[in-house]
Amino acid sequence: MAAGLAYRTGFEVTFVRLAIVVATLFTGGFAAVAYVVAWLVMPAIGTDTTIWSQARTDRRGITLAGGLASVLFFLTFITQLLGSGLLATVEWPLILCPAFLVLIWRNAPASEQARMRHLAEPLLGLTTDNRWSRAWPRVTFSFVLLIAGTVILVDGHKSIKMLAPLGGAMLVLAAVALLLGPWWLGIARDLVEERRARIRAEERADMAARVHDSVLQTLAMIQRRADQPQQVVQLARAQERELRSWLFDGRAPGSLDGEDMTFAGGVRRIQQEVEAQHGVAVEAVTVGDCELTEDLGALLAAAREATVNAVKWSGADVVSLFAEVEPEAVSLYVRDRGRGFDPSAVPGDRKGLAESIHARMARRGGSATVRSAPGEGTEVSLTMPRSGERQPSRA
Amino acid sequence: MTAPSRPRVVIVDDHGLFRSGVRSELGGQVEVVGEADDVQPAISMIAERLPDVVLLDVHLPGGGGQMVVTALRAAVPEVRFLALSASDAPEDVIAVVRAGARGYVTKTISGTDLVDAIRRVAAGDAVFSPRLAGFVLDAFAAMPEASQDRPLFDPELDQLTTREREVLRLIARGYTYKEIARELTISIRTVETHVSSVLRKLQLSTRHQLTRWAAERRLT
């Protein structure tokens, strides 16, 4: 607000702030009220509507401010009854400030709300995550005050005559609490209800956005490509996998690659990428999981090569991937039911591909076997010993 | 036991579209005698029509598919259940199988494979898809070996034999029973025996590890 005032008056922001603080001290708090009012009626930088114009339409907020003002009015009334002159000087600002602050809070732009919340959090401890760890200093402190106050009262006033006005005050307090209590409670309940409704609405919106981004988009694409069955199947499979990983592994749609990718994650990735690029279904089953080491990275690269080969050459409409993580070794099998070939009579180019898988595995101390016969499909078995003594971590 | 040539089937799934899809895919090879979309209607329909096989969705609005199996297993033991689902959390699948289903296949299964699986279940065999084989290997691998401070409840039920493990691995690798038989040079009947034995262990093992494995899966 000070920035806005400075912007309008042409003074430095710091100067305006200092002036307000000094004025507050001298006028016994009235400048603070003026500050709050100014905040209400002046548009924040970058917005057109003032907080005040929004606040006027915020009926719930006005009710809340009224309720709060009445509570505070009642409290100042009590302190006056008790004869404490200390609070009397700031009486009206004390009532008005919080009331207007409520209106401001409810109608301020989101960024300002966040800043105010951040400021108020440690002071009040009234925020949403009102956990015991944060509340206990407050509770302890109030207990100490309560006990000390009682001791002073009992000690200082030996005769109970002096307690008569206090008793009267208590009666008034009780009366007003009875009178206005339900209303205050109602307001508090409304606030809680409103908050819950907002959280629900936000969750719903988030869910809707994700379903829209993934499922609805895919369905739209499927409708457009209804004449190309293979593409439809491919789309449906990719979508199914994405949805599954969102529902059961908690991974957001479209974010398969995490920094902390595991071996099983790598297998899923091969499955997804090969299906997306070649339009052939890949069934992947993994047992166990572990950290992705360099050796296992090589294993995955070889497996990918083998999978792409199967997809390209076998003519099968599905390729099976099975990976198992055991304490001593990781094995991976790529199998298809395609046309197969005679390993002893392979053409040169395919031999080269097999060699690249063999060589890749051998460099890391692993092994690769290719089993195939014409008409019976092909299976590539890859095994990589696990270096070190790390135990498998099961996911 | 011999399989009836045209098994009578009830389809339980909450998606009407999926039910009609399965119905048309099964064609004339099985006799679909009823459809149900939730736990309660399914229970009463199955008890009344006594089909050979129930195709049971793992997820139903009124509770999991295992509720249907649990409710009917004692009353009509001759009805066999084959679980199928699209989006399967391993613990849900294992729960249905532990409740008494004779097997589990994914909804992406082809029509001929599904008919084959139904025939197999109708004949009293177990049907493991590669995915279920993976889940089971995972569940049993998660169980620690017996030790002094942690003795096995029942070593016969709580561990898979080496052969059973081999069979499961081959299923997970995409082998058919016939191919497994050839690979291990045993008869198809022996493969079926191994699979049924794994199913029995899965259903009868009282180990806490199976439950704990499921709980851990849920956490990660």
Nearest to B174 among A243, A286, A320 (CB): A320
Per-residue model confidence (pLDDT) at position A332? 93
Distance, in angstroms, between B139 CA and closest chain A CA?
Answer: 9
Please state the rounded mean pLDDT for residues A361-384: 88
CB pairs under 8 A between A and B: 52
Residue A374: band (very low, low, confident or very high) from pLDDT cuts 50, 70, 90: confident
Please state the rounded mean pLDDT for residues A128-152: 68
Question: Is B73 an interface residue toward A (CB < 8 Å)?
Answer: no
Chain A residues inside the 8 Å CB shell of B141: 287-288, 326, 394
Distance, in angstroms, between B131 CA and closest chain A CA?
Answer: 6
Question: Is A237 an interface residue toward B (CB < 8 Å)?
Answer: yes
- End-to-end Cα distance, chain B: 42
DSSP state of B102: S
Q: How many Å is the maximal CA-CA distance in chain A?
A: 115
Inter-residue contact A236 to B106 (CB < 8 Å): no
Per-residue model confidence (pLDDT) at position A38? 59
Closest by CA position to A90, among listed A142, A26, A166 = A26
Q: Is the pLDDT of residue A89 over 60?
A: no
Per-residue model confidence (pLDDT) at position A98? 66
Per-residue model confidence (pLDDT) at position A129? 47
Q: Do A335 and B86 touch (CB under 8 A)?
A: no
Residue A385: band (very low, low, confident or very high) from pLDDT cuts 50, 70, 90: very high
Chain B residues inside the 8 Å CB shell of A395: 220
pLDDT in tens, A154-190: 666 555 566 666 777 777 777 777 777 778 888 888 8
Per-residue model confidence (pLDDT) at position A225? 77
Please state the rounded mean pLDDT for residues A342-364: 72
Sheet holding A378-385, edge to edge: A281-287, A318-325, A329-336, A378-385, A367-372
Residue for token pair 């139904």: B118
> What's the whole-number average pLDDT of chain A?
73
Question: Is B134 an interface residue toward A (CB < 8 Å)?
Answer: yes
Interface test with B, best of A246, A314, A322 (most B CBs within 10 A): A322
Chain A residues inside the 8 Å CB shell of B142: 394
Q: Is the pLDDT of residue A125 over 50?
A: no
| Residue ranges of A 191-220 with Cβ closer than 8 A to chain B | none
- Percent of chain A whose pLDDT exceeds 90: 4
Per-residue model confidence (pLDDT) at position A27? 61
Per-residue model confidence (pLDDT) at position A395? 39
Lowest mean pLDDT segment, chosen from A78-82, A140-144, B96-100 = A78-82
Lowest mean pLDDT segment, chosen from A77-81, A361-365, B93-97, B112-116 = A77-81
Residues A266 and A301: their CA atoms lie apart, in Å, by 10
User: Is the pLDDT higher at A353 or at A67?
Assistant: A67
Ranges of chain B with pLDDT below 70: 1-4, 87-88, 142-157, 206-220
| Residue ranges of A 132-171 with Cβ closer than 8 A to chain B | none
Residue A121: band (very low, low, confident or very high) from pLDDT cuts 50, 70, 90: low
In the 3-class helix/strand/coil scheme, how is chain A assigned residue by residue? CHHHHHHHHCCCHHHHHHHHHHHHHHCCCHHHHHHHHHHHHCECCCCCCEHHHHHHHCHHHHHHHHHHHHHHHHHHHHHHHCCCHHHHCCHHHHHHHHHHHHHHHHHCCHHHHHHHHHHHHHHHCCCCCCCHHHHHHHHHHHHHHHHHHHHHHHHHCCCHHHHHHHHHHHHHHHHHHHHHHHHHHHHHHHHHHHHHHHHHHHHHHHHHHHHHHHHHHHHHHHHHCCCCHHHHHHHHHHHHHHHHHHHHHCCCCCCCCCCCCEHHHHHHHHHHHHHHHHCCEEEEEEECCCECCHHHHHHHHHHHHHHHHHHHHCCCCEEEEEEEECCCEEEEEEEECCCCCCHHHCCHHHHHHHHHHHHHHHHCCCEEEEEECCCCCEEEEEEEECCCCCCCCCC
Q: In chain B, whose CA is at the least distance from the CA of A371?
A: B183
Question: Is A244 an interface residue toward B (CB < 8 Å)?
Answer: yes
- pTM strictly above 0.90: no
Nearest to A322 among B108, B130, B141 (CB): B130
User: Is the pLDDT higher at A14 or at A290?
Assistant: A290
Q: In chain A, whose CA is at the least distance from the CA of B89?
A: A248
Inter-residue contact A58 to A107 (CB < 8 Å): yes
Per-residue model confidence (pLDDT) at position A41? 56
Per-residue model confidence (pLDDT) at position A391? 44
Per-residue model confidence (pLDDT) at position A334? 93
Q: Do A283 and B86 touch (CB under 8 A)?
A: no
Lowest mean pLDDT segment, chosen from A106-115, A278-287, A365-374 = A106-115
Question: Is A283 an interface residue toward B (CB < 8 Å)?
Answer: yes
Per-residue model confidence (pLDDT) at position A84? 55
Closest by CA position to A68, among listed A146, A150, A183, A151 = A183
Residue A12: band (very low, low, confident or very high) from pLDDT cuts 50, 70, 90: low
Q: Do A287 and B172 touch (CB under 8 A)?
A: yes
Chain B residues inside the 8 Å CB shell of A394: 138, 141-142, 216
Sequence-distant (6+) residues with CB within 8 A of B23 are B11, B32, B35
Question: Is A395 an interface residue toward B (CB < 8 Å)?
Answer: yes
Indicate the burial class of B29 (C-beta count within 10 angstroms; 0-12, 13-18, 19 or more).
middle
Residue for token pair 């709980």: B215
Chain B residues inside the 8 Å CB shell of A237: 108
Residues A59 and B199: their CA atoms lie apart, in Å, by 65
User: Is the pLDDT higher at A1 or at A344?
Assistant: A344
Residue A314: band (very low, low, confident or very high) from pLDDT cuts 50, 70, 90: confident
- What radius of gyration, in Å, describes the C-alpha atoms of chain B? 17
Element (H, E) at B32: strand B31-36
Per-residue model confidence (pLDDT) at position B191? 92
Strand partners, A322: A285, A333
Q: Is the pLDDT of residue A48 over 90?
A: no
Residue A127: band (very low, low, confident or very high) from pLDDT cuts 50, 70, 90: very low
Q: What are the CA-CA distances from residue B117 to residues A141, B32, B46, B91, B151 (Å)?
A: 71, 15, 19, 22, 37
Q: Is the pLDDT of residue A5 over 90?
A: no
Per-residue model confidence (pLDDT) at position A382? 93
Distance, in angstroms, between B193 CA and closest chain A CA?
Answer: 23
Lowest mean pLDDT segment, chosen from A49-58, A80-89, B172-181 = A80-89
Residue A70: band (very low, low, confident or very high) from pLDDT cuts 50, 70, 90: confident
Per-residue model confidence (pLDDT) at position B54? 93
Q: Do A322 and B138 touch (CB under 8 A)?
A: no
Chain A residues inside the 8 Å CB shell of B166: none
